[in-house]
């Protein structure tokens, strides 16, 4: 009967949490056939091979226990399906980076409080994203295009972002980003990280100044899912072989379309609907969900050494 690969994450993952998760597994009728520690610091990652219970039922049983323990749990069907993931697509704002780019732009325009309020409502799913984007962008009218250089200098990658991308690329994955933000910033990020795909909105600039409008179709919730499909087609992989990562309500269609949808430090509505949720502050924890252990991540990172920052594997970012 059902075979699952269960990944437990915690910072730290203590013995009480492990005991409660093991009890929940037993109560669900599952057997733990194998236990492997993928990482121990600053994030503890434990991988379990479980048999005897359907993966969907197991996920339903374990998710509330993990939440009560302050841990994260991912349940995937065992076998080659997980190793067959070949394309990883990420949201940008508050996922790949720690910032909301439109709020950085708004800071230079003197309308940060108003833009931040509307952004928060949109990410919680309380406002239509396209309408909210147009309203926020209108407040940027008149800004000099030189602001993009200033904002790019302000952008901070999420801890572990470089490690995630470097490791995936070294292992042969293709990596893309899709954003409700703006190509004037995302294209620079894609070039810096040597990503394979990127899609975002474009701010209109006339005579060196922002007009307060966007050019072309808006990349919104359906647009992000469409971009994932386009990337998968270009990469020559099935949607079942993709991983999508995001934090806001406008990521939900993309997360649902992917073979594995991961809510990363996400809003409650996203955590509830995604395949799994990660709530530690390191983006490279996604590697553990793919079964890649911390020592292998460190080895690959040593081969492509970069700036020292915090990561889930305890290696360089």
Catalytic residues: 91, 93
Give the three-class secondary structure for 203: strand
Angle 286-291-295 from CA coordinates, rounded to 5°: 90
Distances (CA, A) of 218 to 109, 110, 119, 142, 200: 22, 24, 15, 21, 8
- Residue in this structure with the two tokens 């720690």, named with its chain if needed: 98
Cα–Cα distance for residue pair 170/232, rounded to 1 Å: 19
Q: What is the signed CA dihedral for 270, 274, 280, 284, rounded to 10 degrees?
A: -120
Give the three-class secondary structure for 1: coil
First vs last C-alpha separation in the chain: 40
Peptide bond into 235 cis (omega under 30): no
Distances (CA, A) of 167 to 6, 211, 255, 300, 303: 22, 40, 22, 6, 10
Per-residue burial over 85-98, b = 16 or more CB atoms within 10 Å of its CB, e = otherwise: bbbbbbbbbbbbbb
**Structure tokens of 113?**
């409080």
- Residue in this structure with the two tokens 């269609």, named with its chain if needed: 253
Distances (CA, A) of 109 to 5, 122, 137, 240: 48, 20, 11, 42
Angle 250-236-163 from CA coordinates, rounded to 5°: 60
């Amino acid at each position: 009967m059902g075979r699952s690969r269960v990944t437990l994450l915690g910072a730290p993952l203590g013995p009480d949490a492990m005991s409660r998760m093991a009890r929940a597994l037993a109560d669900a009728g599952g057997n733990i056939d194998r236990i492997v520690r993928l990482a121990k610091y600053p994030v503890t990652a434990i991988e379990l091979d479980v048999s005897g219970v359907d993966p969907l039922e197991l996920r339903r049983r374990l998710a509330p226990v993990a939440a009560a323990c302050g841990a994260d749990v991912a349940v995937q069907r065992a076998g080659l399906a997980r190793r067959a993931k070949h394309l990883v697509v990420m949201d940008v704002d508050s996922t790949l980076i720690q910032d909301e780019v439109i709020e950085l732009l708004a800071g230079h325009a003197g309308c940060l409080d108003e833009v931040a309020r509307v952004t928060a409502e949109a990410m919680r799913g309380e406002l239509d994203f396209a309408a909210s984007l147009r309203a926020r962008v209108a407040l940027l009218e008149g800004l000099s295009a030189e602001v993009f250089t200033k904002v790019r200098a302000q952008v901070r990658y999420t801890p572990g972002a470089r490690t995630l991308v470097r490791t995936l690329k070294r292992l042969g994955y293709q990596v893309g980003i899709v954003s409700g933000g703006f190509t004037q910033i995302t294209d620079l990020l894609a070039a810096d990280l040597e990503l394979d795909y990127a899609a975002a909105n474009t701010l209109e600039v006339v005579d060196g100044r922002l007009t307060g409008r966007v050019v072309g179709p808006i990349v919104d919730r359906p647009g992000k899912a469409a971009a994932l499909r386009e990337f998968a087609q270009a990469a020559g992989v099935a949607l079942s072989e993709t991983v999508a990562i995001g934090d806001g309500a406008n990521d939900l269609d993309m997360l649902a379309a992917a073979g594995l949808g991961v809510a990363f430090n996400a809003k409650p509505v996203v955590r509830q609907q995604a395949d799994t949720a990660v709530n530690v502050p390191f983006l490279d924890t996604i590697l553990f969900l793919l079964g890649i252990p911390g020592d292998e991540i460190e080895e690959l990172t040593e081969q492509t050494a970069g700036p020292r920052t915090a990561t889930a594997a305890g290696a360089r970012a």
